[in-house]
């Protein structure tokens, strides 16, 4: 790796971290060297210490978090001990996970100017830098816009520009792709790659490994429970990575077909037609004077699993919010079980649809999980005994019953993934017939995703699940039907297998054909449901053994 004469930009040697607030070790002895031209990928299950490692190199530990640190950490060739965060920000530029929380400017230009202003640079210099950076990451047209009105993808780019404008030598980014559609992810990673190619370096923490691998990281660090499971080249990583925990490229799955674990796919409920659960008749939806979706005709059945795909800001959330009257149609009519949604009381809607919002914290307010679960059912007039019984049931369904004293824990002290599952439990406690999930798996590792979505789909009493996601493979694997929303319309509405074959959909903005899509297109002939990627990989591997010609579509791209 790199030229030994060059001084490393970041040098972490056998560092350990223990947070003082809990007294628990979060990171075992870990080493990481980053030199100019390096693109390092850090991955691992939720809670394994990835963010902790980043906090170590940008100085947040120990300056902002109280923690005990051992080992040696050099940034820009100098030890971090005794240096301030501000001092190190000249070398390490950091992008934290959620751009919404780190934007400080009211306008894009003010936001990008923030760092240089703090450095006390002259105004002309700042103006020059803003123009240059905005041009470089392609956001010049946004400079005068208010940051509050930007889409997720735009916001992420602006946050990145705000880091680049300070001209750091290394950028470290924590889960940059969690809320981005595939195309926006690609754009962002392309900029990161370019920064590295022009003499910088980058450390990227991400669960979406497959998408990072396209950008040829120079090294991969795989952590598990705070200790290093693997450190080295991409090839070695692909050979060792636990398939159930890391989302690997499909070609790798085929190559390692023999060791793939069995995955139970939740049984599909036999759909007995009946009145549609949700029907849009020429519906137009928008905010204020702005139309987001126009003239939508869509029928979702009572026993279907429907995935909604589409780029950031296409109106996916808006579409499903109309089902529970959080937004009213400006034209047309939305029917629930055959009658106009506007005629239904909010309580009857609440028992028809269990709605889980994009941001899990929105509704958690009680002092304990028990009270949180009881809130909805109590509003429905259930008896305390019923509520207790129901709470136990939903906690079990959402795999939360294993957590110690879960009923007495304050909900917001749970981990992010646990909070997400709790919000689903909260929705299930009201015994809805249809579950609506808005990006349930954003920012979670593959294992959690699999477990979580499996249980949500299998929950008793739930007849149908409609979910919004950016994870194309998740949609293909778990849905009976996929609706793609883009440019204010429904641009596709078919079965997963047909969607994978519909070439024109994948060339649109916001969607990218994954390895799984290509494999389905190239190798699956029947129109039936798409098998789980592991099963498909096993099938293809057998096929290729009996037929050794190179398989198109399974080659890495």
Partner 1 sequence: MDVTPRYLGAGSFLSRRDPRLLLLVPVLYLVAVAGIDDLRGVLLCAAAAVVYYRAAGIPWRGVRANWAVMLAFTTVLVVVNSILTSVDTRSAGDAEVLFTVPVTHSAVTWTTLSYAATIFLRYTTLAMVGFPVAFNIAPSDLGVAFARLGLSQRLAYGVDLTFRFLPSTWASLQETVDAQRLRGYEHSRSRNPVKRLITLGPVVLPVTVNALIDAEDTVNAMDLRGFGGRHRTWMRELAFDRVDYLVLAGFAVMAAAMVTAKFLGLTETVWVP
Partner 2 sequence: MNADATTPREPVLAISSRTVVFGAVGAALYAVLGLFSFLIPGTQAVAVRPAFALVPFFGKRFGVIAGFFTGLVGNMIIDLLTGSGLTYWNWSIANGLVGAIAGLIFAYMPPIANEAVRLIVTALGALLATALGLLFVITDIWVQGIDFNTFLTLNYGPALLSNAIAVVILTPALDALWEPLSKRTGR
Ligand X SMILES: Nc1ncnc2c1ncn2[C@@H]1O[C@H](COP(=O)(O)OP(=O)(O)OP(=O)(O)O)[C@@H](O)[C@H]1O
What's the distance, CA 189 to chain centroid? Answer: 15
Q: x-or-dash pattern for partner 2, window 67-106, by CB under 8 A?
A: x---------------------------------------
Please state, in angstroms and rounded to a whole number, the distance separating the CA atoms of residues 554 and 543: 12
Please state, in angstroms and rounded to a whole number, the distance separating the CA atoms of residues 94 and 159: 10
H or E stretch covering 238: helix 234-240
477 scored as a contact of Mg ion (CB under 5 A)? no
First to last CA, the chain: 23
Return the number of the residue (406 or 459) whose C-beta is nearest partner 2: 406
Question: For 418, phi and psi rounded to 5 degrees?
Answer: -65, -40
Please state, in angstroms and rounded to a whole number, the distance separating the CA atoms of residues 87 and 91: 8
> Which pair of structure tokens corresponds to residue 555?
């080659």
The Cα-based distances of 26 to 21, 62, 352 in angstroms read 12, 13, 42
Please state, in angstroms and rounded to a whole number, the distance separating the CA atoms of residues 480 and 495: 6
Return the number of the residue (35 or 206) whose C-beta is nearest ligand X: 206
Applying the rule CB under 6 A, the residues between 399 and 458 that interact with ligand X are 416
185 scored as a contact of ligand X (CB under 6 A)? no
CA atoms within 13 A on the CB side of 497: 11
The secondary structure of 85-149, three-state, reads HHHHCCCEEEECCCHHHHCCCCEHHHHHHHHHHHHCCCHHHHHHHHHHHHHHHCCHHHCCCEHHH
553 scored as a contact of ligand X (CB under 6 A)? no
Return the number of the residue (103 or 500) whose C-beta is nearest partner 1: 103
Q: Which stretch binds Mg ion (CB under 5 A): 47-55, 258-266, 349-357, 409-417?
A: 47-55
Q: x-or-dash pattern for partner 1, window 415-454, by CB under 8 A?
A: -----------x---x------------------------
Applying the rule CB under 8 A, the residues between 493 and 532 that interact with partner 2 are none
Applying the rule CB under 8 A, the residues between 412 and 471 that interact with partner 2 are 412-413
Return the number of the residue (299 or 347) whose C-beta is nearest partner 1: 347
Q: Residue 460: which of 290, 316, 267 has the closest Cα?
A: 267
Considering the complex, what minimum distance in angstroms separates the CB of residue 554 from ligand X?
A: 29
Please state, in angstroms and rounded to a whole number, the distance separating the CA atoms of residues 228 and 49: 10
Task: Single out the residue of 4, 5, 22, 272 in contact with partner 2 (rule: CB under 8 A).
Answer: 22
Considering the complex, what minimum distance in angstroms separates the CB of residue 353 from partner 2?
A: 27
52 scored as a contact of Mg ion (CB under 5 A)? no
121 scored as a contact of partner 1 (CB under 8 A)? yes
Return the number of the residue (230 or 353) whose C-beta is nearest partner 1: 353
365 scored as a contact of partner 2 (CB under 8 A)? yes
Applying the rule CB under 6 A, the residues between 287 and 326 that interact with ligand X are 287, 292, 310, 312-318
Please state, in angstroms and rounded to a whole number, the distance separating the CA atoms of residues 520 and 497: 7
Please state, in angstroms and rounded to a whole number, the distance separating the CA atoms of residues 7 and 178: 33
263 scored as a contact of partner 1 (CB under 8 A)? no
Chosen from partner 2, partner 1, Mg ion, none, partner binding at 22 (C-beta under 5 to 8 Å by type) = partner 2
Q: In the complex, which residues of this chain contact ligand X (CB under 6 A)?
A: 19, 21-22, 26, 44, 46-52, 65, 151-152, 287, 292, 310, 312-318, 358, 416
Q: In the complex, which residues of this chain contact Mg ion (CB under 5 A)?
A: 51, 317
């Amino acid at each position: 790796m790199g030229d030994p004469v060059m001084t490393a930009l970041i040098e972490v040697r056998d560092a350990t971290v223990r947070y003082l607030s809990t007294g628990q070790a979060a990171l075992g002895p870990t080493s990481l060297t980053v030199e100019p031209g390096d693109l390092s990928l850090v991955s691992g299950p939720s809670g394994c210490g990835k963010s902790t490692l980043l906090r170590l190199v940008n100085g947040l530990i120990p300056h902002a978090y109280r923690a005990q640190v051992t080992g040696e950490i050099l940034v820009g060739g100098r030890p971090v001990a005794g240096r301030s965060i501000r001092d190190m920000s000249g070398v390490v530029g950091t992008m934290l996970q959620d751009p919404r929380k780190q934007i400080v400017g009211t306008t894009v230009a003010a936001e990008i100017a923030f760092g240089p202003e703090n450095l006390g640079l002259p105004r002309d210099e700042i103006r020059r830098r803003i123009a240059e950076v905005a041009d470089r990451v392609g956001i010049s047209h946004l400079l005068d816009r208010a940051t509050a009105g930007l889409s997720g993808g735009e916001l992420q780019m602006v946050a990145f520009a705000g880091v680049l404008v300070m001209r750091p030598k290394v950028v470290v980014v924590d889960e940059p792709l969690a809320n981005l559609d595939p195309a926006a992810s690609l754009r962002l990673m392309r900029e990161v790659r370019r920064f590295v190619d022009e003499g910088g370096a980058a450390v990227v923490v991400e669960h979406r490994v497959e998408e990072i691998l396209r950008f040829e990281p120079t090294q991969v660090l795989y952590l598990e429970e705070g200790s290093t499971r693997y450190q080295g080249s991409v090839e070695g990583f692909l050979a060792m990575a636990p398939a159930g925990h890391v989302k690997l490229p499909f070609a790798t799955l085929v190559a390692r077909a023999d060791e793939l674990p069995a995955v139970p796919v939740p049984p599909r409920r036999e759909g007995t037609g009946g009145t549609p659960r949700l029907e849009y008749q020429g519906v137009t939806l928008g905010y204020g004077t702005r139309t987001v979706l126009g003239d939508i005709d869509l029928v979702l059945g009572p026993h279907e699993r429907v995935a909604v795909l589409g780029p950031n800001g296409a109106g996916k959330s808006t579409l499903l919010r109309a089902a529970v009257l959080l937004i009213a149609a400006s034209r047309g009519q939305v029917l629930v079980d055959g009658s106009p949604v506007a005629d239904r009381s909010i309580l009857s809607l609440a028992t028809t649809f269990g709605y889980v919002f994009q941001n899990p914290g929105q509704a958690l307010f009680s002092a304990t999980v028990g009270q949180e679960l009881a809130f909805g059912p109590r509003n429905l007039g259930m008896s305390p005994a019923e509520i207790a019984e129901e709470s136990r049931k939903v906690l079990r369904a959402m795999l939360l019953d294993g957590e110690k004293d879960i009923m007495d824990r304050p909900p917001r002290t749970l981990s992010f993934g646990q909070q997400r599952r709790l919000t689903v439990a909260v929705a299930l406690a009201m015994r809805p017939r249809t579950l609506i999930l808005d990006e349930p798996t954003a920012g979670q590792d593959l294992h959690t995703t699999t477990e979580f979505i499996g249980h949500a789909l299998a929950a008793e009493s739930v007849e149908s699940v409609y979910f919004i996601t950016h994870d194309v493979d998740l949609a293909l694997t778990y849905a009976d039907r996929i609706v793609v929303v883009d440019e204010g319309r429904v641009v596709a509405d078919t079965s997963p297998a047909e969607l994978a074959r519909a070439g024109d959909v994948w060339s649109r903005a916001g969607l990218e054909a994954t390895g799984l899509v290509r494999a389905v297109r190239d190798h699956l002939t029947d129109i039936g449901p798409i098998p789980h990627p592991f099963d498909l990989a096993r099938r293809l591997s057998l096929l290729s053994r009996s037929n050794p010609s190179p398989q198109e579509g399974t080659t890495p791209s």
